[in-house]
Amino acid sequence: MSFKGKTVWITGASSGIGAALAREWASRGARVILSGRDEARLNEVAASLETETLVLPFDVRDEDAMREATARATQGAGVDIFVANAGISQRSPAVDTAMQVYRDIIAIDLTAQIAATQALLPHMTQRSSGKLVFISSVAGKVGVPLRTAYCAAKFGLIGYADALRAELSLSGIDVHVVCPGSVATDVSRNALTGDGSRRGRSDKAIDEGIAPGDAAKTIVDAVELKQREIIVAQGMEEAMAELRRTPDQLFDQISQMVAKGYMAKMQVEDQ
């Protein structure tokens, strides 16, 4: 498909993978809507793009602000592609991690992404078209030490996306799950420690990771090809993720449940 003239809405768009995706889609002729908490940095990204842009700043945990942003984003040409990218990582052993850290990471990385998608779904289902792109992680396929909260949220995001894909399989809406490994961003510096404070330093694996621009190109190419599960990793991370890759045959089998009236049958039984 061509992305020329399409509108792509990206959360967590002020830096890292989100900003790189904005640049990649803009280079292919798409209009871009940028969301995140830092309006100044969003404006910097917007200024660097040679395309029509709209900046909608909000904290993803603020559902009222999110719904207001959704109303603005869906005006006019509407939203063709939504990228649920906002997130925060973790670097702390479970035994030293406060429950509030679990609550905060799950709220940002999982619940807020679900809420934003739910708010946008009526718009896409009415149009019978669209693409939903969920940025999970290799840590959403493989449990990684020092990231118990992050893994819980990212595994959950994949579960939501996979179930949603099956439900939408006859709707004209595509659902993509992206599992990046180490990408050279500030994800480790911004990660929460056990007491909820910002870690403030990176690590070798991240610093030597895939360049954000390269990751973005891989993701957009795969979305264009309608790949349902997109692994963006190298070396051992890629090997681990491939071991846990969901086979396309299983996706097809689950979607066939919808085609055979499974949802309608369940709804009748629940009445």
Active site residues: 150
Element (H, E) at 149: helix 148-167
Answer for the pair 154, 198: CB distance below 8 angstroms, yes or no.
no
**SS3 at position 11:** coil
Helix pair 39-47, 16-27: axis angle to 10 deg: 30
Beta-bridge partner residues of 133: 83, 176
How is residue 247 annotated by DSSP? Answer: P
What distance in Å separates the CA atoms of residue 219 and residue 213, rounded to the nearest whole number? 10
What CA–CA distances, in Å, run from 215 to 101, 149, 240? 28, 24, 18
User: Helix or strand or coil: residue 10?
Assistant: strand
Kindly give the residue spans of alpha helices, DSSP state H, lying in 33-90. Answer: 39-47, 63-73
- Tell me if 241 sits within 8 A of 140, measured CB to CB: no
Neighbouring CB atoms inside 10 A of 14's CB total 25
- The closest of 180, 80, 83 to 134, measured between CA atoms, is 83
